[in-house]
Structures are given as C-alpha cells and as structure tokens.
Structure 1
Amino acid sequence: MSRLTTSAVPTERTKVPASTEARRRFGRIATVLWLPALLVVLWWVVSANSTSPFFPPLADILAETWNQWVVFGAWPNATSSLQNLFFGYVLGVTIGIVGGSLLWRYEHVRIATNPLIYFLYVLPAPALLPAMIAIFGIGDMRQIALIALGSIWPTLLNTLDGMRGIDAVKFDTARALRLGGWRTYFTLVLPGAAPQIAAGLRASLTVGIILVVVSEMVAAQSGIGYFILQAQAEFAIKKMWTGILVLALIGTLLNYLFMFVERIALRWYYRSRALGGS
C-alpha cells in the first residue's frame, strides 16, 4: 500500500539549468538570424569595391541612410506612410471581418455577391489609382482608400472560409445549450475562425505595405514611395537606396510585431496544437 501511495504522488518537475536554457535561447536566435546576417556580410563584401553608380557599397548606403533619415530629417516621410497604412489597414480589415461574417451568416447574399467579390479580388488595386485620384483627389484620403480596398479581400475571404470550416457539431452543441445568436458568434464562431482570420490579416498587411509605396509614387507630396521616386528622378542613387532600405526595415518590423501579437492573442490555439502534436 505504501508503494502505491508513494508512486501516486506526482514527482516534482525537473528544472532545466539556467545555462542550458540560455544555450537554447541563443540557439533559437542564431537559427533565425544566421541567414540574414550572412546575406548582409556578403552584400558588404561584394559591394565594397563597387564603382557602379547604380550599386554603391553598402557602407556608403548606410552612411547616407543616417544622413538622410536622421541628420537631414527625412523621417516625416516614414511617419506619413505609417499613418496612411494604419488608417487604410484598419478600415480594410474591419470591412473584411464584418463582410466575411455577413456572407457566412446569409447564404443567399453570399451566392448573389460571389461574382462581384471575386471580380474585385482579382482586380489589381494599383489599376484603380487613376480612379482614386479622380474621386478623392491627391491627398491622403486617396492613399487610405486604396490601401483599404486592397486590404479587404484577403481578410474577407479568410474570415468566410474560417467560419464555414467550423464543425457543425459545435453549432448543435450551442443550440443545445440555448446560446443566442450573438453569444454563439462571439464564443464559438469568431474563436473557431480566429487562426484563419489571423492569416488573412497578415496577408492584408503585406498588401497594405505594397499599396502604401504604390500610392505614394503617383501624385503624392510625402511618404517613402515619394522619397524613393524623387531620389530616382534626381539620379541620387544612394539616396534612393536609403528609402528602399528603410521601407524593408519597416516592413520587417511590422511583420514581426504582427507575429508577436498573434502569438499572444492565439496562445490557446498554438498550445492546443502543441498538445495535439500537430
């Protein structure tokens, strides 16, 4: 009896030594960073002795980046781009989630609007830039509208697919528990479709970043796209490269920030996947 009692007592989980945990973290960081670091080193070495005006040394580009964006104060262009991206992205994904939810809820509306949705989805948003200029003028509203239009579709379609993929048994359970329509939506439908909605939000963010640059290269007076185009028109190639570099850094940081927020918001989902071994 004493043996059974002793074996039934849960043993204390073995603690991982701090040095081992530190090595694991360093290994994970090294796995993520080794390839980008190698490419930067190669770029630095290959371009070090370059005399081409179109492919200046990386050291010169970095020095010019500091001069243009810190010393000479080009950073308001980045602020303008981020502001337009924020408003356009939020507007677009909000319409996408609400629209996807309505199409999931009302099948007859989904069937009627399917041709229109896919027509607008395959229509390149930059092709609508002249129409946006005609409707909204050359101010920030035109850029926000274009970003919003391009951001709608990935979120809308992923929201719709995620909601349609929820197991019907779960809805039977909700009805058995006498959950109301809104309560079912917020406690079952949205959480069930959340992973796919997050995938749509990330795709919309990528589309939004592209459209920020495209919209700023036509009839704009500020922004990173405007900065790059003006530098190219002035044949200031190093200055142009600085705009490209800043744009790449901003896009990378935004994507990593999105992944960080997604990991927190969908912690339950990733934890269930880990426990399920998938």
Structure 2
Amino acid sequence: MRQGVRAVRAAAMELWLPILMIVLVWVATARGSSFYFPPLQQVAQTFQQMWLFDRVGSDAVPSVRNFLVGLVIATVIGIGAGLVLALRESLYDAALPVFEFMRSVPGIVLVPVFLVLIGVGDGMKVAVIAYGAIWPILLGTIDGVRSLDPLVRDMMRSYHIPMHHRLLRVILPGASPQILAGARISVALGVVLIIASEYVASTHGIGYVQLHAERTFAIPEMWSALILLGGLGYTSNIAFRGIERYLLRWYHGLRTAGQGGSAS
C-alpha cells in the first residue's frame, strides 16, 4: 500500500509541470492566429493521424529500430573495448590519444563520411547512432573498471580466480554504476542522432518527416514530429531508469544500508 502511494506521489511530482505547460499552451493557442504556432488541438489531431495511423509503419518504426540497433551495437562494443583497455594499461596509454581525437568529432559531422563509406540506407543511420553513442559507454566502462579497489584485484589474482569469473562476478558489477551512467548519456545522444542521420539522403523516418514539413511549411506536421521526438526521448529515459534500477538494485541497497548505519 505504501509503495503504491509513493509511486503515485512520485508520478505526480514528475508530471505536474508538463501537464500545466500543456494546459497553458492549449489555452494560449486556442484562439491564436499565428501561422507558426497553430492551436495545440490541431497539432494533437495531426499527431494522432500521422503517428497512430499514416506514418507509424513507414517512418516511426524504422527510426525506433535504427535507434535501438545503434544503441545495442554501441553498448556491446563500448563495454567490450572498455574492459580490454581498462585491464591493459599499456594498451590504454597507446589508445588514449586516438580516442580523445575520435570522440571530439561529433557523429553529426560524420554523416557525409558514413554516407560515402556505407551508402544510403538504414546501415548508415545505425552507424551514425552507434558511433555517437559509443563514447560515453566506453569511457564509463574504463573509468568504472579502473576505479575498482586495487586490493580487490590483488585478492582475485592471489586466489587464482578464473578471468571469466572475475569479469562476471566482480569487475562488471563493480563498474556497472559508471557504465550505466554513460549509457544514460548515450540514450539521449541516440535520439539526437536519429534526426541527424535522417536529414541527409533519406526517404523515410521521423527526421525526414520533420525536415520535409519544415521545407513545405506544413507547420502542424512539423510540431507533431517534434512532439514525437520529445516523447521518444522521454519514454527511452523512463525505460532506461527502470532497467538501471533493476540492474543496480544491489548498489542502491548497499547505499540505503550505509545511510541507515551512518544515521544510527
């Protein structure tokens, strides 16, 4: 019962401001005559028609699919490469200048490069998303592994614990808070890169619809695409928070126990 009350209270604290803003915009634009700010009711009707019926399969689904595939690729490569670099000091020192240079180049700038190397299609979009999203995960993995207590590493070596047990039972769990912190940043970057990858040489996708609406002055369609992108980012963040809460339940339990012990 208490958990239900707390959940309702947390939802109310999180949603009251967005709901208030929606009401204010709805009232402010209801009788407005601005071409660039149509009534929110009209935008909502356009949103319903476009993203629940007309364009959900042709544009929304491909964008979400590319987003998820790019994040999965970035996660697998980022965690794998981060573990190797963090556990091999000499390799980390040699690769650091290269990584610092590459991560300083935004994924948006490399859209023409991937377009030439991979060609037009979903592969190019997935590559752009994966490239831009990999760096927070990679650096979070390296920082998390390197921040483990050296005594723990020495103990694992002294007891001759096999490497796969070290990785699965000690290293990855110990580094998971930093890894997931980097992954949360990657989720936000992935939403931005969806649009960047679909602005160039694309014939479908949320970004393509939004850009086409801007060029043709289809203002309600433009706003509905922007609302969908914001909703995608917000939904992705909520889903990631749930995954993070599940994977780090042991970590939050330790923190709660430590705070209770310190309070007593």
2:113 to 118, 123, 131: 131
The verdict on how the C-alpha distance between 1:52 and 1:159 changes in structure 2, with shifts beyond 3 A counting, is: same
1:116 to 89, 94, 98: 98
**Where does 1:91-106 land on structure 2 (aligned, <5 Å)?**
91-106=73-88
Unaligned 5+ segments in structure 1 are 1-17
| Paired position in structure 1 for 2:70 | 88
Q: Which runs of 4+ in 1 moved over 6 A?
A: none
**Where does 1:142-157 land on structure 2 (aligned, <5 Å)?**
142-157=124-139
The verdict on how the C-alpha distance between 1:72 and 1:185 changes in structure 2, with shifts beyond 3 A counting, is: closer
Deviation for aligned residue 1:27 = 2.2
2:9 matches 1:61: no
Deviation for aligned residue 1:101 = 0.6
Q: Tell me the SS of whatever aligns to 2:108.
A: helix
Q: 2:29 corresponds to which letter in structure 1?
A: S
Q: 1:145 corresponds to which letter in structure 2?
A: A
Which moved further from structure 2: 41-50 or 159-168? Answer: 41-50
The verdict on how the C-alpha distance between 1:274 and 1:184 changes in structure 2, with shifts beyond 3 A counting, is: same
Residue-pair matches, total: 260
Q: 2:60 corresponds to which letter in structure 1?
A: A
Between the aligned partners of 1:234 and 1:216, the Cα distance in structure 2 is: 17
Which moved further from structure 2: 99-108 or 37-46? Answer: 37-46
Residue pair 2:32, 2:38 contacting (<8 A) in 1 also = yes
Q: 2:23 corresponds to which letter in structure 1?
A: V
| Paired position in structure 2 for 1:182 | 164
Deviation for aligned residue 1:38 = 1.3
RMSD across aligned C-alpha pairs, in angstroms? Answer: 1.6
2:222 matches 1:240: yes
2:147 matches 1:165: yes
Residue pair 2:51, 2:60 contacting (<8 A) in 1 also = no
The verdict on how the C-alpha distance between 1:75 and 1:237 changes in structure 2, with shifts beyond 3 A counting, is: farther
Structure 1 length-normalised TM: 0.89
The verdict on how the C-alpha distance between 1:140 and 1:23 changes in structure 2, with shifts beyond 3 A counting, is: closer
Deviation for aligned residue 1:113 = 1.0
Between the aligned partners of 1:257 and 1:74, the Cα distance in structure 2 is: 20
Give me the identity figure in percent.
36
2:16 matches 1:34: yes
Which moved further from structure 2: 205-214 or 174-183? Answer: 174-183
Deviations 1:227-251 (A, max 9, x none): 1011111110101111111111111
2:211 matches 1:219: no
Q: Tell me the SS of whatever aligns to 2:203.
A: coil
Q: 2:148 corresponds to which letter in structure 1?
A: I
Deviation for aligned residue 1:90 = 0.9
Between the aligned partners of 1:24 and 1:113, the Cα distance in structure 2 is: 47
Q: Tell me the SS of whatever aligns to 2:60.
A: helix
Q: 2:119 corresponds to which letter in structure 1?
A: G
Structure 2 length-normalised TM: 0.94
Deviations 1:69-95 (A, max 9, x none): 234344431101011111111111211
Q: Tell me the SS of whatever aligns to 2:38.
A: coil
